[in-house]
């Protein structure tokens, strides 16, 4: 059972082929990615119309590349999967349109996949895959959620951000420090040479007693500090502010994840989404986990940010779990806003 997966929800065009035969974790046969970061950087963020147009240019060559890598042809593909949402409407429509036309031409079934389900199952492709049940910390540019996951298709929302996402907090703070888009990795790098205690920044909702997050106040605090430092900013102070910002975001993510584990009584944590690539977050979660007997699982570094592998994987795992009846209907819609709870079986 070969599943071709297409991701186009934001600024990465990703394509992958997995083999979901049998009941084992689907095997990743090949994947290819084109990141639009360079194109959007000039604008300081993703320009939706440019994103859609670039997906159109990239998707077919990427499909050829993946099939070439796997030494397979289109005729070998059994199911075509695509990201149905959430994401940018125009960008999603490109992946959905290409997937449905391709499947129609091949006479094969097509399947729309939830982007966040892809992220949270992505650690199953790592060399240290998790076992159910686990708590998932989903931290991307658009989402910050804690979920209880008992099996494929069973997602219980435990808490989420009431305003900005963790990735957004990284990106907006980075912008205030004059760093390019997407700011998360740049801010982390700048912070390496800084003192994380130099600035006292807020840890919103840290002691709220629930599992919700709030990051919009942090950005305001960073803005206030940045203004005080003036322009041009002293280089050491800039690094200190980057380190302090990262420490504030990471501390909240770590403490709330531990609280979720405590509340559910689970001992496995899965971290997924772009911010899951953050080294300080990994270091602190690993250290806390080692102390408390908690196993922490991550996607491979290159599968933390958006990619086609997680979409093909999620489609394959849903098929294996019997959650999908394969359709040969090729009308489609996309769901720019789509909660994971809506697909909970």
The residues of the shown chain that bind ligand KG4, judged by CB under 6 A, are 10, 140-142, 167, 170-171, 182-185, 188, 273-275, 277-278, 305-306
Work out how close the CB of 254 gets to ligand KG4 at its nearest, in angstroms, rounded to a whole number. 14
What minimum distance in Å lies between the beta carbon of 169 and ligand KG4? Answer: 8
Site for Zn ion in 229-268 (CB under 5 A): none
Q: Of ligand KG4, Zn ion, none, which one sits near residue 144, judging by CB under 5 to 8 A according to partner kind?
A: none
CB of 331 to ligand KG4, least distance (A): 26
Using CA atoms, how far residue 137 sits from 103, 248, 259, 273, 287, in Å, is 33, 17, 12, 8, 16
Nearer to ligand KG4, 140 or 225 (CB): 140
Which one of ligand KG4, Zn ion, none is in contact with 171 (Cβ closer than 5 to 8 A by kind)? Answer: ligand KG4
Q: In terms of residues, how long is the chain?
A: 345
Between residue 291 and residue 310, which ones bind Zn ion under the rule CB under 5 A?
Answer: 306
185 binds, among ligand KG4, Zn ion, none (CB under 5 to 8 A by kind): ligand KG4
Footprint of Zn ion on residues 143-182 (CB under 5 A)? none
Query: For residues 64 and 57, what is the distance between their CA atoms, to the nearest angstrom?
Result: 13
Q: Return the H-helix or E-strand segment holding 64.
A: helix 48-70
**Which residues have a Cβ under 8 Å from the Cβ of 253 and sit 6 or more positions away?**
137, 139, 144, 166, 213, 275, 281
CB 140 to ligand KG4: min, Å? 3
3-class DSSP assignment, residue 308 = helix
Binding flag, residue 11, Zn ion (CB under 5 A) = no
Quote the CA–CA distance of 146 and 160 in Å, as a whole number: 6
What is the radius of gyration, based on Cα positions, of the chain? 20
**123 binds, options ligand KG4, Zn ion, none, Cβ within 5 to 8 A by partner type:** none
Q: Which does 316 bind (CB under 5 to 8 A by kind): Zn ion, ligand KG4, none?
A: none
For ligand KG4, the closer of residues 63 and 188 by Cβ is 188
Q: What's the closest the beta carbon of residue 70 comes to ligand KG4, in angstroms?
A: 24
According to DSSP H, which parts of 152-234 are helical? 166-176, 183-191, 216-229
Torsion sign (Cα): 57, 63, 66, 71: negative
Q: Decide which of Zn ion, ligand KG4, none touches 138; Cβ closer than 5 to 8 Å per partner kind.
A: none
Of 145 and 225, CB closest to ligand KG4: 145
Under 8 Å between Cβ of 132 and 149: yes
Distance, in Å, from the CA atom of 178 to the CA atom of 173, rounded to the nearest integer, reads: 9
Tokens of 5: 């997966």
The upper half-sphere exposure of residue 119, i.e. CA atoms within 13 Å in the direction of its Cβ, equals 30
Nearer to ligand KG4, 90 or 142 (CB): 142
| 7 three-state secondary structure | strand
Q: What does 183 bind: Zn ion, ligand KG4, none (CB cut-off 5 to 8 Å by kind)?
A: ligand KG4
**Tokens describing residue 308:** 């086609």
Of positions 8, 122, 140, 246, contacts Zn ion by CB under 5 A: 140
Question: What's the DSSP call for residue 23?
Answer: S
Six token digits for residue 297:
């699982």
In the complex, the smallest distance separating the C-beta of residue 169 from Zn ion, rounded to whole angstroms, is 16
Minimum separation from the CB atom of position 265 to ligand KG4 (A): 28
From 102, 53, 100, 149, select the one nearest 333 (Cα to Cα).
Answer: 100
Of Zn ion, ligand KG4, none, which one does residue 277 interact with (CB within 5 to 8 Å by kind)? ligand KG4
What is the closest distance, in whole angstroms, from the C-beta atom of residue 237 to Zn ion in the complex? 33
Tokens standing for residue 166: 């963790």
Residue with Cβ nearer Zn ion (114 or 256): 114
Would you tell me which residues interact with Zn ion (CB under 5 A)?
A: 140, 306
């Amino acid at each position: 059972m070969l599943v071709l997966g297409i991701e186009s929800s934001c600024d990465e065009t990703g394509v992958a082929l997995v083999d979901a035969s049998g009941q084992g974790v689907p095997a990743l046969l090949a994947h290819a990615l084109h990141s639009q970061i360079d194109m959007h950087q000039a604008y300081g963020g993703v320009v939706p119309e440019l994103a859609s147009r670039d997906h159109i240019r990239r998707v077919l060559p990427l499909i050829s590349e993946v099939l070439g890598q796997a030494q397979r042809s289109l005729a070998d593909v059994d199911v075509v999967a695509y990201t149905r949402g959430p994401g940018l409407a125009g960008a999603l429509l490109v992946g959905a349109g290409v997937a449905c036309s391709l499947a129609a031409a091949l006479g094969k079934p097509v399947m729309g996949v939830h982007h966040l389900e892809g992220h949270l199952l992505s650690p199953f492709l790592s060399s240290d895959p998790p076992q159910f049940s686990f708590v998932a910390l989903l931290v991307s540019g658009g989402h910050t959620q804690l979920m209880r996951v008992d099996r494929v298709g069973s997602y219980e929302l435990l808490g989420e951000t009431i305003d900005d996402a963790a990735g957004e907090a990284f990106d907006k703070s980075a912008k205030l420090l004059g760093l390019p888009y997407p700011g998360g990795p740049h801010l982390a790098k700048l912070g390496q040479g800084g003192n994380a205690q130099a600035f006292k920044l807020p840890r919103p909702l840290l002691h709220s007693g629930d599992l919700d997050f709030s990051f919009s106040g942090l950005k305001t605090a960073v803005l206030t500090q940045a203004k005080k430092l003036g322009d041009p900013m002293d280089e050491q102070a800039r690094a200190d502010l980057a380190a302090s910002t990262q420490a504030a975001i990471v501390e909240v993510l770590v403490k709330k994840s531990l609280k979720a584990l405590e509340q559910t009584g689970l001992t496995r944590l899965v971290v997924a989404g772009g911010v899951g690539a953050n080294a300080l977050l990994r270091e602190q979660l690993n250290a806390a986990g080692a102390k408390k007997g908690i196993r922490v699982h991550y996607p491979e570094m290159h599968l933390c940010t958006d990619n086609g592998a997680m979409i093909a994987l999620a489609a394959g795992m849903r098929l294996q779990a019997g959650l999908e009846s394969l359709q040969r209907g090729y009308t489609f819609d996309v769901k720019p806003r789509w909660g994971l709870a809506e697909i909970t079986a």
